[in-house]
Chains A and B, each alone.
Chain A
Amino acid sequence: MSEIVLQAGTLWWREITRFARQRSRLVGAFLQPLVFWALLGAGLKASFRPSGMPGDINYMQYFYPGVIILVLLFTAIFATISTVEDRKEGFLQGVLVAPIARSTVVLGQALGGTTLALLQGIIFLVLAPLAGIHLNLAAIVVSAGMMAIIAFALTSIGLLIAWRIESTQGFHAIMNLILIPIWLLSGAFFPSSGVPAWLYWPMRVNPLSYGMIALRRGLYLAEPVSFCSLSAFRWAVLISIGFAIAMFAAATRVANRSTSV
């Protein structure tokens, strides 16, 4: 057990150290969603009012938690790209011939990606007042907790893909075909109320939608508005945890079977 902690811990430490030494990654994962939010949020605010939302939530406010998840998604993707590069460059080979279980390797990678995503997400919380959202301690703690769960799930999806494919080019294609649509259909960009049925059901079964629900509610803990009932919130948290565990298990399974190193 302590060996797993030591091994996963050193892989985690390495992810963080690398990240800190590559400033462009930090800037990229943070600035891109910020630009999205500023341009899309401000641009759409004038024309659209999100339907089915309580109070006088404007689009800038509606989009804010969606952008936080985009920050998590981008950071998770960058962490995953580094896994593809590790395989290509040979670093991973050195890890795989060590007396370490593949599941421990994946755990270290997933925790590294999660930590980076969480850090960026928390930095993004600083912008909450700009969105007109007042945060108290409870809101910060619950939001951070949800971010951690969502980031772990997203990083695991990324690893699931990274352990299967050969090149970063392939990863970009998959990212645009799978990861971005999952985000678009999570309620991050537009609410599910009022959309046609062919969009409604994908949004209902999308596990990330529940992370979105829970995070949105967490962010507004200090505000009088409420987006969902407490029991719906509990369910959303449980589904998100289940989703994260399932994705991690799937990534471990793929890593165990991978021989193309």
Chain B
Amino acid sequence: MSAVAPITRTVTRDAASAIEADGLSFSYGERKALSNVSFAIARGEVFGFLGPNGGGKTTLFKLLSTLIPLQSGRARVLGSDLAGDTKTIRRKMGVVFQHPSVDGKLTVLENLQHHGRLYGITGSNLKERANSMLDSLGLTARADDLVETLSGGMRRRVELAKAMLHQPELLLLDEPSTGLDPMARREFFGHLEQLSRRDSVTIVLTTHHMEEAERCDRIAMLHQGQLVACAAPLELKSQVGGDVVVIHTAAPELLQRKLLQQLKLKSAVVDGTLRIERPRGHELIRELVDTFGAEIESVSFGKPTLEDVFVHLTGHRFDISGDARNE
């Protein structure tokens, strides 16, 4: 057994990637969950996979966390081959699942101790690390309470404490804020960012929450198993031309034709609404209402969000209920 000494790492964003994936594909029988997905995540990055349910996020998460074997494509995680050297990867990686992986019948501290022993950590080393994690996540007062008696937000923090106990270089989280109210979600993300800064851990998460994605250094958008974008949130939003004007109307196709004929305006029909992307969108609204007032039920206007980026790239609404298979 190797007792791992506490490591002091400096915050570096060195060139070596935390994860490099090349042409990953995965099918469940006939259904293709991922097709030809490639990306690279730098060390120290907070990286998010954003997409609706059924987009392939969870499959990608299972592949990266070594839960399911690669079918095709190659990937290196923390310098090791994902297909061959899972044991090395597992030692250096912490994983937080969408569903709780802590045991409700054990206390907070017992859960951490159990986890530590699975990673070969024992004795005073285990005690120190457990106490330090409890302390930094504000769980010390509840250390001896059964996990099943904790609130949802606290349980998530126990998951995080557990995943960080063995001081991983990479933290992988699948929909980490599942079941949390907005307040607890923000708090949880704050803890994540703190850990990222303090321990210079690379953080890779999947999410369908825009506000969570906004807080990532870079995000990759997954749609129907394909990677449709990969960049910083601001950069992605700048891809959408200026402002976004959305028109609700009874007959979107008809209005679309009229817009093109009379105003030379290009628009897209998305989920029964008409969308127009252009700079200085507010000036357009008056013209629209003046010309087509009778046909328009409502018009909304806004700066592009990541949701708009998704619509811009895929032509589909970002439907979080979506296809829930395999989620």
Do A93 and B118 touch (CB < 8 A)? no
Extra A-B contacts (15), CB below 8 Å, given A93-B101, A98-B115: A3-B1, A6-B1, A7-B117, A7-B118, A9-B117, A10-B117, A14-B114, A17-B110, A18-B106, A90-B99, A91-B102, A93-B97, A94-B115, A97-B65, A98-B118
Contact of A6 with B87 in the complex, beta carbons under 8 Å = no
Interface readout for B108-137 with A: 1 if CB under 8 Å, 0 if not? Answer: 001001110111101000000000000000
- A21 close to B105 (CB less than 8 A): yes
Query: Is B82 interfacial (CB-CB < 8 Å)?
Result: no
Inter-chain CA distance A104–B24, complex, in Å, is 30
Give Cα distance in the complex from A9 to B1, angstroms.
14
Across the interface, name the chain B residue whose C-beta is closest to A261.
B67
A231 lies within 8 A of chain B by Cβ: no
Contacts of A261 in B (CB 8 A): 67
* CB pair B118 A10 closer than 8 Å: yes
Interface residues of A in 187-236 (CB under 8 A from B): none
Please tell me if B95 contacts chain A, counting CB pairs below 8 Å. yes
A-B CB contacts (within 8 Å), total count:
75
A100 at the interface (CB under 8 A from B): yes
Render B179-210 as a binary contact track against A, CB cut-off 8 A, 1 for contact.
Answer: 00000000000000000000000000000000
The reply to whether the CB of A259 lies closer than 8 angstroms to some CB of chain B is: yes
| Bound Cα distance A214, B120 (Å) | 39
- Evaluate contact between A10 and B68: CB separation under 8 angstroms: no
Chain A residues with CB under 8 Å of B118's CB are: 7, 10-11, 95, 98-100
Question: Given A3-B1, A259-B69, are A99 and B99 also a contact pair (CB < 8 Å)?
Answer: no
Question: What are the residues of chain A within 8 A of B105 when measuring CB–CB?
Answer: 17-18, 21-22
In contact, A97 and B69 (Cβ under 8 angstroms): no
| A97–B117 touching, CB < 8 Å | no
User: Which residue numbers of A lie inside 8 Å of B, CB to CB?
Assistant: 2-3, 6-7, 9-11, 13-14, 17-18, 21-22, 89-91, 93-100, 259, 261
> Which residues from chain B sit less than 8 Å from chain A, CB to CB?
1, 65-69, 87, 90-91, 93, 95, 97-103, 105-106, 110, 113-115, 117-120, 122, 146, 162
Give B183 Cβ to nearest chain A Cβ, in Å: 24
Interface centre among B99, B101, B103 (most CB of A within 10 A): B101
A245 and B69 CA atoms in complex are apart in Å by 28
CB contacts (< 8 Å) of A2 on chain B: these are 1
A-chain residues with CB within 8 Å of residue B122 when the two chains form the complex? 6
Contact of A3 among B113, B114, B120, B146 (CB under 8 A): B120
- Cβ contact within 8 Å between B99 and A89: yes
Given contacts A14-B106, A22-B105, A93-B97, contact A6 B117 (CB under 8 A): yes
- Complex CA–CA separation, A89 to B102 (angstroms): 9
| A94/B101 in contact, CB under 8 A | yes
For B103, what are the chain A residues with a Cβ–Cβ distance below 8 Å?
14, 18, 91
Ranked nearest first, the 6 interchain pairs of A and B with the lowest CB-CB distance are A94-B101, A90-B99, A10-B117, A98-B118, A99-B90, A90-B101
Residue numbers in B under 8 Å from A14 (CB-CB)? 103, 106, 114
- Our pick among A3, A6, A17 for the contact of B106 (Cβ within 8 Å) is A17
Contacts of A95 in B (CB 8 A): 118
> Do A10 and B114 touch (CB < 8 A)?
yes
Residues on B with beta carbons closer than 8 Å to the beta carbon of A93:
67, 95, 97, 99, 101
Question: Measured between alpha carbons, how far is A2 from B123 in the docked complex, in Å?
Answer: 14
Most B CB within 10 A of own CB, among A9, A21, A98: A98
Report the bound CA distance from A100 to B97 in whole Å: 18
Contacts of A10 in B (CB 8 A): 113-114, 117-118
23 pairs of residues in contact across A and B, judged by CB atoms under 8 Å: A3-B1, A7-B118, A7-B120, A10-B117, A13-B114, A14-B103, A14-B106, A17-B110, A18-B103, A18-B106, A21-B105, A89-B100, A91-B100, A94-B102, A97-B67, A97-B90, A97-B95, A98-B90, A98-B115, A99-B87, A99-B90, A99-B91, A99-B119
Determine the chain A residues whose CB is within 8 A of the CB of B93 once the complex forms. 97
Whole-angstrom distance between the alpha carbons of A22 and B103 in the complex? Answer: 13
The residues of B that contact A90 with a CB separation of less than 8 Å are 97-101
* A22 contact set on B, CB distance < 8 A: 105
Q: In the complex, which residues of chain A have a beta carbon less than 8 angstroms from the beta carbon of B119?
A: 98-99
Query: Bound complex: CA of A44 vs CA of B95, how far in Å?
Result: 57
Given the complex of chains A and B, what is the CA–CA distance between A70 and B142 in angstroms?
A: 40
The answer to whether A96 touches B102, judged by C-beta atoms less than 8 angstroms apart, is: no
Alpha-carbon distance A69/B301, docked complex (angstroms): 73
CA–CA, A18 and B107, complex, Å: 11
**Given A14-B114, A89-B99, A90-B99: A96 touches B67 (CB 8 Å cut-off):** yes
Nearest CB to that of A98 among chain B residues?
B118
Residues from chain B with a CB closer than 8 A to the CB of A100 are 118
Give the docked Cα–Cα distance between A3 and B113 (Å).
15
Q: Would B101 and A6 count as touching, CB distance under 8 A?
A: no
